[in-house]
A and B are shown apart, each in its own frame.
Chain A
Amino acid sequence: MNTLQLCLAFSSVLFAVGLAGALARSNAILVLLGLELMLNAANLNFIAFWRFSPAPSAATGVIFVLFSISIAAAEAAVGLALVIAIYRRKRSIRLPDATHLKG
């Protein structure tokens, strides 16, 4: 494996860790942070391709990652506000307790 493939393998493993956390944990905050971890792994890919692929333009990958980070920040803000709203209503942030919308 060359360096680019090592970077991609690193981000794949990080993505899988985030996915496992998001699927396995019942705490809403940890699920949200698992999602953030997956987004972060995608950002690592952007930078790896920007750095090592044959002919990128000067700043494309960096700009991609900047936009991606700002979207992740917006997602975290809304997600944590939702967590607080669920807590207000249910006095719990465990996802198995939040079954309002389940038919």
Chain B
Amino acid sequence: MNAALAIIALVTVGSAAAAMLGRNLLRSILMLAVSWAGAAAFYLWAGAQFVAFAQVLVYLGAISMVALFAVLLTRQSRDEPAAAPAARRRGVLAVAAAAAVAAVLLWAVKKTPLPVAWRPVPSTTVRELGAQLMGRHGAALLVVGVLLTIALIGGVVLASDRAYEKPEDKP
């Protein structure tokens, strides 16, 4: 069981690291898609099929496509220019900060006594999930729906041409 987890973790973290290191933006996004697929595999491994489905639908289907569109719309040159010294220094600092965060998190995970309950995979049918979402969590579901609507309308307004048509704004 842990071997499968190790493979999933290696693929996910490896492709995420490759995406964050790569110079080519399109390739980075494709590697991130692999990483999100790895997360979906983790959900399947843990027995949360519906979440894996949502992950594939939202991350692989929607977010990676939107990111690809953003890349194509804002494209200037194939690759990023070579890193300037300031950018390189910032990169070193960023990796150091991330390594420190990872060290603290791993230390906390190792030190905390976390009992594992070996019970059968909790069976959550889609029917149960739907009943819970519409019943106990109905208010939260409505709030999320409103949030998504507002966010999407805001996105359209931000990205539309009309936001910049004021004459005094012209450079």
Contacts from A to B (Cβ < 8 Å):
1-10, 12-21, 23-27, 29-30, 32-34, 36-37, 40, 43-44, 47-48, 50-56, 58-59, 61-63, 65-67, 69-78, 80-85, 87-89, 91-93
Q: In whole Å, how far is B25's beta carbon from the nearest beta carbon of chain A?
A: 7
Interface string of B41-80 (1 = CB under 8 A from A): 0110011101100110011001100110111011010001
The answer for the CA separation of A89 and B164 in the assembled complex, in Å, is 8
Chain A contacts of B164 at CB under 8 A?
88-89
Interface string of B75-119 (1 = CB under 8 A from A): 010001000000100110111011101100110011000111100
Chain A contacts of B70 at CB under 8 A?
29, 80, 83-84
The answer for the CA separation of A67 and B136 in the assembled complex, in Å, is 14
Interface size on B, residues (CB 8 A): 83
Interface of B, helix, strand, loop or mixed by DSSP: helix
- Find the B residue at minimum CB distance from A75: B151
Chain A contacts of B109 at CB under 8 A?
1, 5, 8-9, 12
Q: In whole Å, how far is B161's beta carbon from the nearest beta carbon of chain A?
A: 8
Interface of A, helix, strand, loop or mixed by DSSP: helix
The answer for the CA separation of A12 and B110 in the assembled complex, in Å, is 12
Q: In whole Å, how far is B14's beta carbon from the nearest beta carbon of chain A?
A: 9
